[in-house]
Amino acid sequence: MQNFVIQPNDFLKLKQDIKAYYHSDYCGGGGQWQKIGTVENIICTLKNDITPFSEKVLQEAVQHLSNILSTDLPQILQIAKIDSLTVCVVPRAKTNYQPNQLLFKTTVRNVVNQLNGFSDGTDYIIRNTDTRTTHRDRAGYGGNGDLPYPGITKKTCTISNEVRDKNILLIEDLYTKTVNIDEDVIQALLDSGAQSVIFYAVGKTIHSEI
């Protein structure tokens, strides 16, 4: 696990950086997504929105993700020196995904419920209006809705009052610096009364830094 910071910008209007962590780098090219067990493979498989994967393949990815989360999340809690973290998940772009397209969120929930020091808030941010799917938009398959703009989370999601006064660990499958949806979700949580937000992604896109 590695650390980085998310800096304030037009989406995240803070006077301080957000502490953030990720499991490993994500490279979009080179066929890494076909190599079982890589973060590229786990993330692409669990999105399950281009060529549907078999149940066996999906469950292999779920197990790999579970192993990663079970290792990384307790480390974050220890570093943060906080008694408890409430785990939220960045919602997917659409409102009508099938259960086998929401296995990332389901896996996070299952792992969190087995770990000490974490509370399940995976349903605290729910998408109620479709947005464009950023990872498919360049190829022309982003669908309906808007691309990220400051405030899009509060416009297109319902955020539970349960986030108020909570120390939140916000989890995402992939962080890409130029997309800004994660920054916007962090701002929405803070605007909704969260005490603090720590961010964690399984993968972090490396090309955005080049």
Q: What is the structure's pLDDT at 45? A: 93
State the Cα–Cα distance between residues 106 and 148, nearest whole angstrom.
Answer: 24
Measured CA to CA, the distance from residue 162 to residue 119 in angstroms comes to 11
| Domain tally, the chain | 1
Q: How high is the pLDDT of residue 140?
A: 56
Q: What is the DSSP letter of 83?
A: S
pLDDT tens-digit map of 162-191: 999 999 999 999 999 989 999 999 999 999
Q: Could you list the residue range(s) of the whole structural domain that residue 32 is in?
A: 2-209
* Ordered DSSP codes for 60-79: HHHHHHHHHHHHHHHHHHHH
CATH number at 97 reads 3.40.50
DSSP 8-state secondary structure symbol assigned to residue 157? E
Cα 2 to Cα 158, 189, 202: the distances in Å are 31, 23, 10
| Residue 60 pLDDT class (50, 70, 90 cuts) | very high
